């Protein structure tokens, strides 16, 4: 008895061979000095809030931003460098309660689905062409952090903003080893399914706050 797999493959293999066209030249755009301007413009056009801040000052800036939004519970990754820095900075003074994502989702579901109002993650890099953040979730910084809370705060190193997806895929040799999940995020969750009218926060975060970490402005 042959399987569906064998029958499908044997039909495909019995088809006449065809010539393989070469990949014609194509190059994604380059921005040079205008890279940060493009990155910011694209993200802002997608309704994200983009701030440039120094490595020393971001926890304070974030404290002020979230205070303005009345956030009192923030999901964070306690084992990452950014997570440790946040915990250290917010240990003094008035700050939202930091909720660590330190157990499997099965034990954290109600907290993530209904309770925390914001989450802080890092991005591996930024893509100027499309205003995208490359998220590369790890055991310390899990996938759902950037998805379930209504506000997603993401830190990206200014030096790691590149021109295009093609560029970053090639220079970082992604094909050599993909993680369980990699995600490009280019704004808050949105839909235009009702009369093509844009509405934000349909299932994912309603707000995306991007902190671009660079030398002090």
Partner 1 sequence: MAVEARTSDFGGKARVALNDPKLRANFRRAMDGLMSKRAAQFSDKEEWTALRARGAAVRARALARLPELLEQLEAKLTANGVTVHWAETTAEANAVVLEILQKAGARRVIKGKSMVTEEMHLNAHLEANGIRAVESDLGEYIIQLAGQAPSHIVMPCIHMNKVEIAELFAARIEGQPYTENVDELTAAARKALRDRFADADAGISGVNFAVAETGTLVLIENEGNGRLSTTLPPLHIAVTGIEKVLEKLDDVAPLLSLLPRSATGQVVTTYVNMISGPRKPGEKDGPKEVHLVLLDNGRSRVFCDTELADTLRCIRCAACMNHCPVYTRVGGHTYSFTYPGPIGKILTPQIEGLDCAGDQPHASTLCGACAEVCPVQIPIPDLLARLRTEAVHPTSIAVKGGGSGRSLAESLGWGGWTALYSSPLIYRISTRLLGLFGNLMPACTPMLREWTRIRSKPKFAAKSLHELARERGFSNDER
119-148 binders of partner 1 (CB under 8 A)? 129-132, 137-139, 142-144, 147-148
CB of 217 vs partner 1, minimal distance in Å: 27
d(CA 77, CA 16): 54
CB of 162 vs partner 1, minimal distance in Å: 12
Residue whose CB is less far from partner 1, 11 or 68: 11
Residue whose CB is less far from partner 1, 102 or 157: 102
CB of 215 vs partner 1, minimal distance in Å: 28
User: CA nearest 189: which of 134, 143, 152, 144?
Assistant: 152
Contact 128, 92 (CB under 8 A): no
Residue whose CB is less far from partner 1, 46 or 61: 46
Residue whose CB is less far from partner 1, 175 or 217: 175
Residue 67 DSSP one-character state = H
CB of 213 vs partner 1, minimal distance in Å: 23
SS3 state of residue 123 = coil
d(CA 34, CA 37): 5
d(CA 83, CA 59): 10
């Amino acid at each position: 008895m042959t399987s569906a797999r064998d029958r499908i493959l044997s039909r495909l293999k019995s088809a006449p061979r065809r010539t393989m066209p070469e990949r014609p030249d194509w190059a994604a755009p380059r921005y040079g000095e205008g890279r940060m301007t493009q990155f910011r413009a694209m993200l802002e056009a997608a309704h994200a809030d983009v701030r440039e801040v120094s490595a020393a000052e971001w926890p304070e800036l974030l404290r002020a931003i979230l205070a303005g939004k009345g956030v009192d519970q923030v999901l964070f990754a306690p084992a990452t460098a950014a997570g440790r820095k946040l915990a250290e900075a917010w240990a003094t003074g008035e700050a939202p309660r930091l909720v660590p994502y330190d157990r499997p989702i099965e034990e954290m579901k109600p907290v993530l689905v209904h309770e925390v109002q914001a989450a802080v993650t890092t991005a591996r890099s930024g893509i100027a062409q499309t205003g995208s953040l490359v998220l590369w979730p790890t055991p310390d910084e899990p996938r759902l952090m950037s998805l379930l809370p209504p506000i997603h705060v993401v830190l990206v190193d200014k030096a790691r903003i590149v021109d295009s997806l093609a560029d970053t895929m090639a220079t970082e040799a992604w094909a050599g080893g993909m993680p369980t999940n990699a995600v490009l995020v280019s704004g808050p969750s949105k839909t235009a399914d009702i009369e093509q009218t844009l509405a934000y926060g349909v299932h994912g975060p309603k707000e995306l706050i991007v902190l671009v970490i660079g030398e002090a402005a």
